[in-house]
Amino acid sequence: MNILITGGAGFIGSSLAKSLLKANHEVSIIDHFSTSYHVERKMEQVEQIKRIGPVAIHEFDLLDEEKTIAHFNEHSYDSVIHLAALPGVQPSLTDPHAYIDQDIKVTVNVLRAAGLSGVSQVLFGSSSSVYGDQEGPVTESIANGKVKSPYAAAKAGAESFCHAYQSLYGFKLTILRFFTVYGPWGRPDMAIPLFLTKLLNGEPIHIYGRHQSRDFTYIDDIVNGIFLALNQTNQSEIYNLGSGKPVRLEDLIRLLMNYFPDANVVDETFRAGDVRHTWSNIEKAKKDLGYVPEIGFEEGLRRTVEWAKNYHD
């Protein structure tokens, strides 16, 4: 298959690109190497992809509608996996307009360009944040728009545009709601990578409520879920991709203390915009796609700590 990954230089996109190349797909990437975190890290991620096989890298901003449409018309992609976005909950509180641009307008550009150029399948990387603060385990149908942050609102809005353009152009649409993804090459602004960097530097880590829990999902399981979704046959579906096993932050800290017994943990108050718990119901993905997460949290954390120590060195 000739597959385009938008945001392919990022954490999930680069891991996915490596796996798709290993499975002999033709892979192209569009990424503008945004400064949401170190550009050098994204360059390194691209180098990792290139080591696996040939990949076409197109460096431009998907916010440019004309360029995006022209690009899609020049290339005939079978499937588009749209992961380009500005992620992160807390920064969205201070810069909401950037999220409207990067998470909504960019998605509209990609959807229109895909539809106009006759792409047959679009997969959209959405987020557990669209559920707001609901008691889990959450099923796909219970997202009700009552979200907690501008990031989540942008993702929920982008999902609606996906439905609109699916209806207008008739491509096959799969919306995948990822639950807190972690693992080697994890996004540096997220809790586990951030904690590991601080712990390796001997700095204190700050947590904003020990009783919060997150449905941490290992990167390989997410990549596997995306793979399986490529073979999904229905016209329009939404799937949770999570582990289905939430971990309390106090348990995360306890496990980290096994590796960093001298860790200095500073308790802070809960932050507006965050949700208290995430917990996925993954029965639909299991049944329809055969998605079964394989990496338990303790093993995933062990691999992540090992990677972080080597990377830090």
Ligand X SMILES: NC(=O)c1ccc[n+]([C@@H]2O[C@H](COP(=O)([O-])OP(=O)(O)OC[C@H]3O[C@@H](n4cnc5c(N)ncnc54)[C@H](O)[C@@H]3O)[C@@H](O)[C@H]2O)c1
Residues annotated as catalytic are 151
Residue 106-145 contact track with ligand X, rule CB under 6 A, x = bound? x------------------x-x------------------
Angle at 82 between CA 81 and CA 87, to 5 degrees: 135
Helix (H, G, I), strand (E, B) or coil at 50: helix
Q: How far apart are CB 127 and ligand X at their closest, in Å?
A: 4
Q: Looking at 20-28, 79-87, 249-257, 269-277, which segment touches ligand X (CB under 6 A)?
A: 79-87
d(CA 207, CA 195) in angstroms, rounded, equals 9
Among residues 30 and 230, whose Cβ is nearest to ligand X? 30
Question: Which H or E run includes 57?
Answer: strand 55-58
Tokens (6 digits) for 313: 């060195």
Among residues 181 and 204, whose Cβ is nearest to ligand X? 181
Which residues have C-beta within 8 Å of that of residue 154, sequence separation ≥ 6?
A: 92, 99, 100, 102, 103, 104
**From the CB of residue 171, how many other CB atoms can be counted at a distance below 10 Å?**
20
Comparing CA positions, the residue from 187, 12, 163, 11 lying closest to residue 89 is 187
Among residues 93 and 170, whose Cβ is nearest to ligand X? 93
User: Which single residue brings its beta carbon nearest to ligand X?
Assistant: 10
d(CA 288, CA 301) in angstroms, rounded, equals 28
Q: How far apart are CB 31 and ligand X at their closest, in Å?
A: 4
Q: If you write DSSP's letter for every residue of 275-300 in order, what string do you get?
A: -SB--B--HHHHHHH-------HHHH
Contact with ligand X (CB under 6 A) among 187, 256, 295, 305: 187
Q: How far apart are CB 261 and ligand X at their closest, in Å?
A: 28
Tokens (6 digits) for 267: 């308790």
Q: How far apart are CB 16 and ligand X at their closest, in Å?
A: 9
Among residues 31 and 221, whose Cβ is nearest to ligand X? 31
Q: Looking at 4-12, 50-58, 259-267, 290-298, which segment touches ligand X (CB under 6 A)?
A: 4-12
Q: How far apart are CB 35 and ligand X at their closest, in Å?
A: 8
First to last CA, the chain: 38
Comparing CA positions, the residue from 149, 144, 130 lying closest to residue 240 is 130
Among residues 38 and 271, whose Cβ is nearest to ligand X? 38
Residue list 6-65, contact with ligand X (CB under 6 A): 7, 9-13, 30-34, 36, 42, 61-63
Tokens (6 digits) for 243: 């582990």
Among residues 121 and 127, whose Cβ is nearest to ligand X? 127
Residue list 272-291, contact with ligand X (CB under 6 A): none
CA 296 to chain centre: 19
| Partners of 241 in the β-ladder | 178
Among residues 83 and 305, whose Cβ is nearest to ligand X? 83
Q: How far apart are CB 161 and ligand X at their closest, in Å?
A: 14
Residue 14 has, within 13 A of its CA and on its CB side, a CA count of 21
| Partners of 206 in the β-ladder | 266
162 binds ligand X per the rule CB under 6 A: no
Q: How far apart are CB 85 and ligand X at their closest, in Å?
A: 3
Residue list 165-184, contact with ligand X (CB under 6 A): 178, 180-181
User: What does the binding site for ligand X look like in residue numbers (CB under 6 A)?
Assistant: 7, 9-13, 30-34, 36, 42, 61-63, 83-87, 102, 106, 125, 127, 178, 180-181, 187
